[in-house]
Amino acid sequence: MKYDYLIVGAGLYGAVFAYEAKKRGKKCLVIEKRNHVAGNIYCEEIQGIQVHKYGAHIFHTSDKKIWDYVNQFAEFNNYINSPIARYKDELYNLPFNMNTFSKMWGISTPQEAKHIISEQIKELNIVNPQNLEEQALSLVGTDVYEKLIKGYTEKQWGRECRELPAFIIKRLPLRFIYDNNYFNDRYQGIPIGGYTKIIEKMLEGIEVRLNTDYLANKGELNEAIDKIIYTGMIDQYFDYKLGVLEYRSVRFETEELNVENYQGNAVVNYTEREIPYTRIIEHKHFEFGKQPNTVISKEFSSEWKKGDEPYYPVNNEKNDILYAEYKKLADNEGKVIFGGRLGAYKYYDMDRVIDAALNVCKEELA
């Protein structure tokens, strides 16, 4: 059977493209090497709780067009992301705001907080930050850095802050108001009943083959199609012939607990280096669950190696130069369009993934 498009990967990018192509009368085949659709936004129901299998995903955007688009496929609740940071036995609100500063220094006014931070920055006298540590210290001072940034960042990247480039932290927003809403975006929420339903709705009436690895079945798959939308790793597509791009991976330890409420918040970051996980997610709080039990996931950040699940690209200078070389190869592939987080080697929020997919649809399906 002939198809207009083969879509490699049943995540958000691939599903948006498939949905838009089908709407325009195109015949699509979607293949996915995992045993489920929805990629990293996949949710699995455990004891009535939607568990974010591959880490917390909170939809947020300031783009009304994207918000209206995604609301076609699900009803969203009014969840607001307000993570807590735990340093030893001290609990702080994130992002850094007046609740954080009040707890840290026993103060109550923005003027007091600004004074303490500017005095700490002045004492350090860092004129030209050479690494992430110096960059962060020059933005937020010693206390916030030591308690809430240093250990967490070192766990996340697997190296000392002094060894990480300064540009990773371009800015660290300090809010001198009592507001714990992590995002500045106008629209925010969690789809009621989980993200998987959104992707299933997008893929209705489209042929989907799970447990199918494109690169292992390339020959026979390519015969039946006119064009490919590829959302896998761009370097793997080219058999790593220019070198291997770096990624970070994440491992999850998920437990069902016989308690109603384990930590009182959906997201608690553990910011000291000695605790091996970066954060604990308590999934029921995303949908204000009242179940008698709970499900938690501990997240462990790790160096990616071949065979691991790649989560986010390490966009430093070395990798960006290598990606640019792969991009040249990709541009010459003719009937292949590379997209999504892995195909574009870019850390994307969900709204940007949808936007990127819709832009490709506009060009490709016009």
Q: Which residues are catalytic?
A: 171, 175, 248, 279, 299, 347, 349
Tokens of 346: 């870019």
Whole-number CA gyration radius for the chain: 22
- Provide CB contacts within 8 A for 173, sequence distance 6+: 95, 96
Amino acid at 302: S
Tokens of 153: 């960042």
Whether the Cβ atoms of residue 37 and residue 200 lie closer than 8 Å to each other: yes
Tokens of 123: 């004492």
Q: Phi-psi region for residue 59, left (φ > 0), alpha (ψ -120 to 50) or beta?
A: beta
CA distance 219 to 208: 18
What is the distance of C-alpha 125 from the center of its chain? 34
- Provide CB contacts within 8 A for 21, sequence distance 6+: 4, 5, 28, 361, 365
CA nearest to 145, candidates 109, 92, 99, 183: 92
Burial of 172 (0-12, 13-18, 19+ CB in 10 A): middle
Burial of 72 (0-12, 13-18, 19+ CB in 10 A): exposed
Burial of 192 (0-12, 13-18, 19+ CB in 10 A): middle
